[in-house]
């Protein structure tokens, strides 16, 4: 997969749509000889503030629609969510920080760890906030525990994540999932079929 730029995959660990996209993004990219470069952002905490928007699950009408849309999607794709999409959101900072630190300092472990976090949060219904939960995700993804301990203690984990979120905003990324293919922006898991066509045709 050399010589072709990876596609950028942006997600928030507490976004159900981000989770659903995470189950498909690597296969989608690989089908076209691409890698997917995973990036964590914080929609609720930072991006929505830039946009002047409330969280979707606090937005009248939309908050009733989204659970139906997600249920329809999961039935269609045979995915089972074990966390309510309407429950109060888990704090995404600890896992986003740990993931972003890993992708900088031990990048081979970043994606397996992120998959384990997504799986814990959405397929197991666990909160991944405390040290012990982060270490459980490390164990399940063959990430050395010492790396996670380092990530938790690292003074640069916060700044690294802030820089990622800033980079997202500078590139116009505002939601989860958000995919950039050679600069072309695609928002939402609904766009995955279109991304597939875009990659196959080389754009249009």
Tell me how far, at minimum, the Cβ of 88 lies from a second copy, in Å: 19
Output 142 or 190, the one with its CB closest to a second copy.
Answer: 190
Partners of 38 in beta bridges: 9
Near a second copy by CB under 8 A, which window of 27-35, 95-103, 149-157, 184-192? 184-192
Q: Which of 30, 50, 139, 145 binds a second copy (CB under 8 A)?
A: 50
Closer to a second copy by CB, 61 or 146: give it: 61
Q: Is 200 in the site for a second copy (CB under 8 A)?
A: no
Residue 55 interacting with a second copy (CB under 8 A): no
Q: How far is the CB of 28 from a second copy (least distance, A)?
A: 16
SS (H, E, C) the chain: CCCCCCEEEEECCCCHHHHHHHCCHHHHHHCCCCCEEEEECCHHHHHHHHHCCCCHHHCCCHHHHHHHHHHHHHHHHCCCCCCCCCCCCCCCHHHHHHHHHHHHHCHHHHHHHHHHHHHHHHHCCCCCCCHHHHHHHHHHCCCCHHHHHHHHHCCCHHHHHHHHHHHHHHCCCCCCCEEEECCEEEECHHHHHHHHHHHHHCCC
172 binds a second copy (CB under 8 A): yes
9-to-31, 80, 188, 202 alpha-carbon distances in Å: 15, 22, 11, 18
By CB under 8 A, which span of 10-18, 47-55, 100-108, 153-161 interacts with a second copy? Answer: 47-55
Q: Counting contacts by CB under 8 A, is residue 41 touching a second copy?
A: no
Point out which residues pair with 185 in neighbouring strands. Answer: 180
Closer residue to a second copy (CB): 3 or 183 = 183
Quick note: the x/- pattern for a second copy over 68-97, rule CB under 8 A, is: xx--x--xx---------------------
Q: Under the rule (CB under 8 A), what is the footprint of a second copy? A: 47, 50-54, 59-62, 64-65, 68-69, 72, 75-76, 169, 172-174, 184-185, 187-188, 190-191, 193-194, 204
């Amino acid at each position: 997969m050399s010589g072709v730029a990876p596609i950028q995959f942006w997600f928030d660990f507490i976004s159900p749509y981000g989770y659903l996209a995470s189950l498909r993004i690597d296969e989608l990219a690989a089908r076209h000889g691409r890698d997917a470069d995973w990036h964590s952002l914080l929609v609720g905490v930072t991006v929505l503030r830039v946009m002047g928007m409330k969280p979707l699950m606090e937005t009248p009408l939309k908050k009733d629609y989204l659970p139906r849309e997600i249920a329809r999607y999961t039935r269609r794709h045979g995915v089972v969510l074990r966390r309510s999409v309407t429950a109060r959101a888990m704090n995404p900072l600890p896992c986003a920080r740990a993931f972003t630190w890993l992708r900088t300092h031990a990048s081979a472990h970043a994606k397996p760890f992120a998959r384990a976090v997504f799986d814990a949060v959405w397929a197991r219904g666990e909160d991944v906030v405390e040290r012990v939960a982060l270490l459980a995700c490390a164990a399940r993804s063959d990430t050395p525990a010492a790396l996670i301990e380092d990530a938790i203690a690292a003074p640069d984990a916060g700044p690294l994540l802030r820089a990622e979120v800033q980079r997202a905003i500078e590139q116009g990324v505002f939601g989860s999932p958000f995919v950039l293919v050679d600069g072309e922006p695609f928002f939402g898991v609904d766009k995955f079929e279109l991304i597939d066509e875009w990659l196959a045709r080389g754009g249009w």
